[in-house]
């Protein structure tokens, strides 16, 4: 079992339906409700196509992490500002 993050994509419409992080599926905000299942395997929420896993590029992941860090920093900054005023 590895902690490699995967992007879960549809073979037919190439929509990203979610991400597999630490072995858990995080559904994409664009996919509301549970993924339709056929034959025990989850399917695309848009077209019902087969899904495949694509390892997330490390640089892409680094960018995502940076975004989160940036969000946290700006939130902390806002809190500081509201305290100062």
Residues at the contact surface with Zn ion, assessed by CB under 5 A = 10, 12-13, 44, 46-47, 49
Cβ 44 to Zn ion shortest distance, Å: 3
Cβ of residue 22: shortest distance to Zn ion, in angstroms?
25
Q: How far is the CB of 30 from Zn ion (least distance, A)?
A: 11
> How many Cα atoms sit within 13 Å of 29 on the Cβ side?
0
Question: Beta partners for 39?
Answer: none
Q: Which is nearer to Zn ion, 27 or 46 (by Cβ)?
A: 46
Q: What is the largest CA-CA distance in the chain?
A: 59
Output 47 or 69, the one with its CB closest to Zn ion: 47
Q: For the CA atoms of 4, 17, 25, 72, what is the dihedral angle to 10 degrees?
A: 80
User: DSSP letter at 26?
Assistant: E
In the complex with Zn ion, which residue's Cβ is closer, 5 or 44? Answer: 44
């Amino acid at each position: 079992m590895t902690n490699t993050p995967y992007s879960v994509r549809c073979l037919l419409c190439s929509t990203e339906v979610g991400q597999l992080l630490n072995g858990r599926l995080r559904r994409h905000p664009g996919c509301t409700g549970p993924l339709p299942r056929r034959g025990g395997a989850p399917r695309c929420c848009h077209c019902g196509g087969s899904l495949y896993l694509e390892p997330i590029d490390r640089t892409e992941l680094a960018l995502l992490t940076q975004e989160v860090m940036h969000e946290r920093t700006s939130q902390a900054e806002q809190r500081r500002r509201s305290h100062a005023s």
